[in-house]
Amino acid sequence: MTIPPAPPLIALRKVTRRFGTVTALEEVDLDVAKGEVVVLIGPSGSGKSTLLRCVNALERPDAGEVLLGGERVDAARKDIDRLRAETGMVFQHFNLFPHLTAIGNVALAPRLVRGQGDARARALLERVGLSDKADVYPDMLSGGQKQRVAIARALAMEPIAMLFDEPTSALDPEMVGEVLAVMRDLARDGMTMLVASHEMGFAREVAHRVVFMDGGRIVETGAPGDVFERPRHDRTRAFLSKVLRA
């Protein structure tokens, strides 16, 4: 798949983030174009989550900057809430609001922030195949259903990009497929997506680009076929041989 050149929707410029003595991200540069699907892979602790969280201002870089649609993402800016709503974040452990029903979860932000009604939220639940679960509380949903509600919730503010942090790692194997199907559907619709995932099949099929990270740095990046078939770095090869064997 090829994509036309366009200014990046998400841009990381020499982003560094440290936690004490640990450097979670070190001078990371990354551009994600509009409509592009980028999958981040890499061993545990390589900085994938930290990278995603910097785009959403859940983490603050120690150096460098993150640009979203040309605007600087900075937790200190006055309109950070509006800017945050421009990206939808999907978490490994769903983080659904347990005191609200499925529809309540999806409709909360549009209602509070924009004074919108439930109609769009209902349409989103239908889109993820859960219109019959609208009035059900999260603890009555399966893992796969929870994550689909979480995706609908992240879409509710009409984000220009979606961030996924290992959205299927906490799921039983038989539920992975239904979540990936929703993500595939989003990608097909042209949604810009930045995904941390170990689902190599998904990456191969859906990603325009795969980014391999290790030790807080981007080691290599390229089309999934290239990275998977002809990795240029030993570290990539070592990592792939581990995950692909599994």
Partner 1 sequence: MRLRDLLVRAGITVAVAATLVFALLASRYRFDFEPTWRYRELYGKGLLVTLGATALAFAVGMALGIGVALLRVSRRLPVRHLGDLYVEVIRGTPFLVQVTIAYFGIAPLLRLNDKFLVGTFALGAFAAAYMGEIFRAGIESIDRGQVEAARSLGLSRAQSLRHVVFPQAFKRMIPPLTGELIALTKESSLLFAIGLVEMTAAARQVGADTYKYLEASLVVAAMYLTLTVPLSLLARKLERRLKRSERTGVHL
Ligand X SMILES: Nc1ncnc2c1ncn2[C@@H]1O[C@H](COP(=O)(O)OP(=O)(O)OP(=O)(O)O)[C@@H](O)[C@H]1O
Binding site for partner 1 (CB under 8 A): 56, 58, 81-82, 84-85, 87-89, 91, 93, 95-99, 108-109, 112-113, 153-154, 156-157
* Residue ranges that bind Mg ion, judged by CB under 5 A: 49
Span 24-43, contacts to ligand X by CB under 6 A: 24, 42
Tokens of 54: 């910097």
Assess 87 for contact with ligand X (CB under 6 A): no
Instruction: Determine the 3-state secondary structure of 229 from DSSP.
Output: helix
Which residue in 13, 27, 45, 137 binds ligand X (CB under 6 A)? 45
User: Quick one: 3 or 75, whose CB is closer to ligand X?
Assistant: 75
User: Quick one: 61 or 231, whose CB is closer to partner 1?
Assistant: 61
Strand-by-strand arrangement of the 37-41 sheet: 87-90, 161-165, 192-196, 37-41, 209-214, 217-222
Assess 22 for contact with ligand X (CB under 6 A): yes
CB atoms within 10 A of CB 227: 24
Instruction: Determine the 3-state secondary structure of 61 from DSSP.
Output: coil
Which residue in 12, 28, 32, 48 binds ligand X (CB under 6 A)? 48
CB 166 within 8 A of CB 196: yes
Q: How far apart are CA 104 and CA 116, in angstroms?
A: 12
Assess 49 for contact with ligand X (CB under 6 A): yes
The minimum distance between CB 17 and Mg ion, in angstroms, equals 13
Q: Which whole-number Å values give the CA distances from 98 to 157, 162, 179, in the listed order?
A: 20, 22, 20
| Dihedral sign, Cα of residue 226, residue 229, residue 231, residue 235 | positive
What residue 129 binds from Mg ion, partner 1, ligand X, none (CB within 5 to 8 A, per partner kind)? none
Assess 235 for contact with ligand X (CB under 6 A): no
Q: How far apart are CA 174 and CA 21, in angstroms?
A: 39
The minimum distance between CB 65 and partner 1, in angstroms, equals 19
What residue 47 binds from Mg ion, ligand X, partner 1, none (CB within 5 to 8 A, per partner kind)? ligand X
Binding site for ligand X (CB under 6 A): 19, 22, 24, 42, 44-50
